[in-house]
Amino acid sequence: MVDPLHSDASLHNIICGGRTLNLSRPQVMGVLNVTPDSFSDGGQLHKEGQLNLDKVLLRTERMLAEGAAIIDVGGESTRPGASPVTIQQEIDRVLPVVEAIAKRFDVVISVDTSSPDLMLEAAAAGAGLLNDIRALQRPGAFKAAAATGLPVCLMHMQGEPGTMQESPVYHDVVAEVTEYLLHRVEQCVHAGIARRNLLLDPGFGFGKTVEHNLALLNRLPKLVEKGYPVLVGLSRKSLIGKVLGREVNERLAASLALATVAANHGAKIIRAHDVAETVDAVRICDMVMRESE
């Protein structure tokens, strides 16, 4: 059943702390990995093994100039085989970045975390959105997310990052992912999180084969029609490498193609590494779609 607050998701504005995110048209979320081992750009913001805040702020400034509406800060690599981090390590990586960005820029800051402690501290530091690949499964996450009052993006993942790509199996990937996300929505509402503050992410590449990913993208309107804003992250994903044989630094064209398809199918937030190019692709797609209405 579609919630009346989401009966027209295309006109839905989300209050992200002290800022409003307008989703009347697709927006681009710029990726800001502050981990030393991210699959795509790990270590680029570090100098001599330490996170360099000057580099962080320059990257943020550039992404904003390129048209990013959201900056997504992540301190835990979720690529297959990535080394686990402690909660304190994650906080030490992410919190100074959130504080620095919040002081200098007028932008919605998303925190890519599953840690309840970081959710609370990041919200107090100026974050406006919680982006959780584990859909608030960690103990205390529901309570922490509700306490912040911030919007939450719930993502589907089969398994855990270290092993999720070993042998993912579904009977009907679209139906199962949708059912899981809607179940998490109801649990969030029961925990005191408003429906209007919930976004959904099908979790491309998180416990899915190439065929699963393609099916999810092809039938993305099935998830969109549930009425919640949908976030899609396909930028530079291994899907592209497996289909086209491209290395990470050769995946721009395919990433843009996937972003365009996602926007055409109703995704409202496109998470991307290459912000300027993705903004152009999404904007032109949106213009074409509006002309056809």
pLDDT, tens only, 138-186: 999 999 999 999 999 999 998 666 565 667 889 999 999 999 999 999 9
**Helix, strand or coil for residue 165?**
coil
Could you give the CA distance from residue 151 to residue 243 in angstroms, rounded to a whole number?
34
Which of the four pLDDT bands, split at 50, 70 and 90, describes residue 202? very high
The catalytic residue positions are 237, 271
Q: Which two tokens stand for residue 78?
A: 């979720």
Q: Are residues 137 and 114 in contact, defined by beta-carbon separation less than 8 angstroms? A: yes
**Which domains occur in the chain, in start order?**
4-291 (3.20.20.20)
Number of H helices, E strands in the chain: 10, 12
Please tell me the total number of residues recorded for the chain in this structure.
293
> pTM for the full model?
0.91
User: Quick one: CA torsion of 36, 37, 43, 49, rounded to 10 degrees?
Assistant: 40
Note the pLDDT tens digit of each residue in 224-278. 999 999 999 999 999 999 999 999 999 999 999 999 999 999 999 999 999 999 9
Q: Are residues 36 and 45 in contact, defined by beta-carbon separation less than 8 angstroms? A: no
